[in-house]
Chains A and B, each alone.
Chain A
Amino acid sequence: MPPKTEDIEIRLLLEAIFRKYHYDFRGYAMASIKRRLLQARDHFNCQTVSALQDMVLHDPGMMTAMLPYLTVQVSELFRDPLYFKAIREKVVPHLKTYPSLKVWIAGSSTGEEVYSFAILFREEGLFERTMFYATDINHDALKKAEAGVYSLERIKLFTENHRLSGGKGSLSDYYTAAYGAASFDKTLRKNVVFSDHSLATDAVFAETHMVSCRNVLIYFDRELQDRAITLFKGSLARKGFLGLGSKETLRFSSSADAFTDFAHDERIYQKRDVT
């Protein structure tokens, strides 16, 4: 079957965005990005994706406006509490043997995962020796992550997640509530470096002991997933840990052999000693 016009337009739009703004969405899984781009087309009152491309190319402000449609920013503190419980109970004992630690939160979005790790590491006595790298391609999301302010409506869920993750003490110890918002303790981010980084185009920037990248790879096609996993492999020290989303897998990656299953159900992998 010949490609649909819309699919051609979407490929051209992603190519235009890459050439003009250097954001590379060309390796993203099409089904999801197509839905969101068609929503963007309607939102910006364009008849066609080509018309949207015209706007994006000629108005740099449009690129910023388009980013929320191109990236998915849905997260929670301690999302999938059993993942964090497994880190607490199974990974932390290994991490405690290192005098200093580096942890990479890849695709940190608006920061929920970063604060989850910072709180968990503080509760487990690892915080002071850890440097966190929180990276994302979306500058606005990074700024929100750095601010650490979340709507109070979400705190009930966060609190329950924290409890189910084996949290010690109360989540309320880590934020102050005012004007309908919860503002997380700024000392939680004193060891966090927030930085622009693209899994599609950038290289490894540090040796790390743990990489957490959850519900990011699902938006990539297999080829880009493979690139990202190979970056994680390159960044991780021997016997370092890689945490993925609850339905993500290394199964299709050329780097799969470099890892062993560490906590299968929680999708935590460990890099082999010799690779």
Chain B
Amino acid sequence: MSTVMKSRKASDIIVRHTEPEAVVIGVSAGGLKALSAILPTLPADYPLPIMIVIHLPPDRNSVVAKLFDDKCALTVREADDKEDILPGYVYFAPPDYHLLIESDRRLSLSSEEPVLFSRPSVDVLFETAADVYGEGLIGIILTGANPDGAAGLKQVVKEGGRALVQRPDQAYASAMPEAALAMSPQAESLTLEQIADELIKAVQV
């Protein structure tokens, strides 16, 4: 070990990132209500960016971002292609596009095929975010009636990130959190209020 360390320059030493850098949320049926229990509780100076996939009918004139922008202290937007990810911003995937995270901390959109009949796909967002943020990522799966997000959350865990899942017995639709917990038994199963608290605690020094 010591010889390995000696052969490295100081700048090459790998720093373990334990500070959270970003949050991703995946949600489907019952999602507006569930998100309403979380997003408006976060303060205006919340330091992490939050990227969200919610399954909605493919209608370009989605009003979800506007709806939450009015309700939240944070700035809430529909993601534009290649925009910089800013701390304390909430980005919704636009209907009918996948939302992906680039390694230069920018957002990308894609109109590739739906994954598990979903576009946007929770898996696509989570897998690309896990790849970029690794241990610095918090992945959250909420209510939903399909298994999208389970594979993505597993990837978040594999890359060292933290996984939070809404308690299935409390979810409007339990299939999505159940599928996520089945694939990631390490995930913390919490109420919406607890998830909101954890997001605050995660950034307290």
| Interface pair B100/A32, CB less than 8 Å apart | yes
- Stretch in contact with the other chain, from A114-122, A218-226, A230-238: A218-226
A263–B2 Cα gap in the complex (Å)? 63
Residue B45, interface by CB 8 Å? no
- Once the chains bind, are A72 and B82 in contact (CB under 8 Å)? no
Residue from B80, B112, B124, B131 within 8 A of A247 (CB atoms): B80
A 70-108 contacts with B by CB, 8 A:
72, 74, 80, 82
Q: How large is the interface on A (under 10, 10 to 19, 20 to 34, 35 or more residues)?
A: 20 to 34
- B82 contacts which of A1, A2, A221 (Cβ < 8 Å)? A221
- Chain B CB count within 10 A is highest, among A7, A30, A217, A249, for A30
Range class of the B interface residue count: 20 to 34
Q: How far apart sit A219 and B100, CA to CA, in the bound complex (Å)?
A: 11
Question: Is B19 among interface residues, defined by CB-CB distance under 8 A?
Answer: no
Q: Which residues of the other chain, B, contact A260 by a CB distance below 8 angstroms? A: none
What string of 1s and 0s marks CB contacts (under 8 Å) between A189-217 and chain B? 00000000000000000000000000101
Residue of B60, B81, B98, B127 near A217 (CB, 8 A) is B81
| Minimum distance in angstroms from B196 CB to a CB of chain A | 28
Task: Please tell me if A183 contacts chain B, counting CB pairs below 8 Å.
Answer: no
Whether B102 and A252, one on each chain, are in contact in the complex, defined by CB atoms closer than 8 angstroms, is no
The interface centre, meaning the residue of B102, B109, B124, B127 with most chain A CB atoms within 10 A of its CB, is: B109
Residues of A contacting B82 in the complex (Cβ-Cβ under 8 angstroms): 29, 218, 221-222, 225, 252
Quick check: is B113 within 8 A (CB to CB) of the other chain? yes
A274 CB-CB contact with B under 8 Å: no
B68 within 8 A of A: no
Is the C-beta of B111 less than 8 angstroms from some C-beta in chain A? Answer: yes
A72 touches B97 (CB 8 A): no
Binary contact readout B64-95 vs A (1 if CB under 8 angstroms, 0 otherwise): 00000000000000111111000000000010
Docked Cα-Cα span, A1 to B60, in Å, equals 38
Q: Is the CB of A1 within 8 A of B14?
A: yes
CB contact list, A239-263 vs B, under 8 A: 245-249, 251-252
* A246 CA to B60 CA, complexed, in Å: 8
* Extra A-B contacts (6), CB below 8 Å, given A7-B103, A218-B81: A32-B110, A32-B112, A36-B112, A246-B94, A247-B80, A247-B94
Q: Which residues of B contact A (CB under 8 A)?
A: 12, 14, 17, 60, 78-83, 94, 97-98, 100-103, 106, 108-113, 124, 127-128, 131-132, 134
Using CB atoms and an 8 Å cutoff, list the residues of chain A in contact with chain B: 1-2, 4, 7, 29-32, 34-36, 72, 74, 80, 82, 215, 217-219, 221-222, 225, 245-249, 251-252
